[in-house]
Structure 1
Amino acid sequence: MIPIRPFPVDAPEATACLVAYFAELSARFGQTFDPYADADPAALQPPRGLFLIAGTGTPMGCVALRTGAEGLPPGTGEVKRLWVAPAARGQGLARRLMAEVETAARGMGLSHLRLDTSRHLPEAQALYLRDGWTGISRYNSNPYADHWFEKRLGPAQIS
């Protein structure tokens, strides 16, 4: 099983994930993707957030969590930068990354999560709907977003 663990957002592994993520978004959007929302990298690090990476050696995926962003009420975090390497797709890694970020959010005392996504990422939309996310109205000014979602975090599941 591919391990998932936290990394500093400025670690080489995190940079590798984000470069691949932004390159894929640029190709899908047909324009250069400008990561406007990462103006404050500290928002993706404890105590305000978290950056998770899947894999050892070569990163196979990532996801980030932040609090205190635009449009987020108290007790709500925002999920950002969910990405899985093409070679690791179809193995449930995105779902595992999302489960890990939800667990981390509960541990931070959050009761809700929000996220936004683009119409260019239909597989992400399908994942969120399948995993209990609910469509909501726009909560931020992300120029790339077409869909906004929220999830209420219940108590931790015992497996």
Structure 2
Amino acid sequence: MDQSFLGRGRPLGAARVLNAIGRGICEVGAIRDYLGLDSGLMSRLLRALEDEGLVTTSPAPSDARRRIANLTPAGMSEFEAYEALSNQRAQRLLDHHPNRADLIAAMDLIASALGQHAVTFEEVDPRAPEAVTCLNAYFAELARRFRTGFEVHLSKDPEAVDMLRPKGAFFVIMSDGLPIGCGGVKGHDGTWGEVKRVWIDPSARGLRLAARLMEQIERTARDLGMTTLRLDTNSQLPEAVAMYRRLGWREIDRFNDDPYPDVFFEKRL
């Protein structure tokens, strides 16, 4: 890896920079932050890639103090070659493992742990692909865990517009380009909101992401003028019930006629 990562003639550091640019992270400062590099090393790696004719850099149109890196046609060919080699090696690893599902789950767990400080909380339309990916995984988990199963059409599923500003908001947690969690707040007459669809991928649990997501939702609810938040959950999700109590939520009487929840909480902002 120090001399010729995947046999392409350059070390891992330069290959990582090439990969970041190929994936669309083009602002030099953003690349540096994403890869955890200091300014000096970042400059040397970029200069080496420029000398190879793989990368060009130029001032950002909106701010000449910032620099933008782009792949040349030769750089794009190298990026695609790295992708193909990586995919081939990963496929061989999976093909020769007796339980590929467990192997993938273990790799997801390690990736989430290593990347926990680089996750982002992005406000999105709940109909966006990354949001739908999380919501489908959330509904599937409820169907497995509830004794009665779970059918989303029987639940009080909020309309998407109720989780868009100015009524509400919806967030997806992103890690290395992949969605690993979601949650939102549904607006009710401008004075209170209902927290909905809080879910974290099993590979990322235990990293305090759910608590950070709840903090983000509470900040957003305040910005939207809400003074009270409510939520519902089910006693068959004891870790969720415990988290809400730990975060200062107060148990209250039922406030809706959704057939699935049996525990209800409120928090004054």
Per the normalisation by structure 2, the TM-score is: 0.53
In the TM superposition, residue 58 of structure 1 has moved relative to its aligned partner by 1.4
Q: Deviations over 1:21-41 (max 9, x none)?
A: 000000001444222322522
Aligned to 1:95: 211
Question: Which structure exhibits the higher relative contact order, with contacts defined as CA atoms closer than 8 Å and separated by 6 or more residues?
Answer: 1
Superposition CA RMSD, Å? 1.3
Could you tell me which runs of 5 or more consecutive residues in structure 2 were left unpaired when the two chains were aligned: 1-116
In the aligned structure 1, how far is the partner of 2:141 from the partner of 2:245? 22
Quick check: 1:46 aligned with 2:162?
no
Moved more, 51-60 or 39-48: 39-48
* Corresponding residue number in structure 2 for 1:13: 130
CA deviations on 1:50-81 (whole Å, 9 max, x unpaired) are 1101114211111110012xxxx761100000
Show CA shifts across 1:2-46 (max 9, x none): 110101111000000000000000000144422232252211111
Q: What's the counterpart of residue 64 of structure 1?
A: 184
Matches within 5 A, 1:1-159: 1=117, 2-35=119-152, 36-38=155-157, 40-56=159-175, 57-68=177-188, 75-153=191-269
Question: How much has 1:104 moved relative to structure 2?
Answer: 0.2
Unaligned segments of structure 1, at least 5 residues: 154-159
Structure showing greater Rg: 2
Which structure shows the bigger proportion of residues in helix conformation? 2
* 1:64-113 deviation per Cα after TM superposition (whole angstroms, max 9, x unaligned): 10012xxxx76110000000001100000000000000000000011110
The total of aligned residue pairs comes to: 149
Distance 1:80 1:47 in 2: 16
Q: Runs of 4 or more off by more than 6 Å in structure 1?
A: none
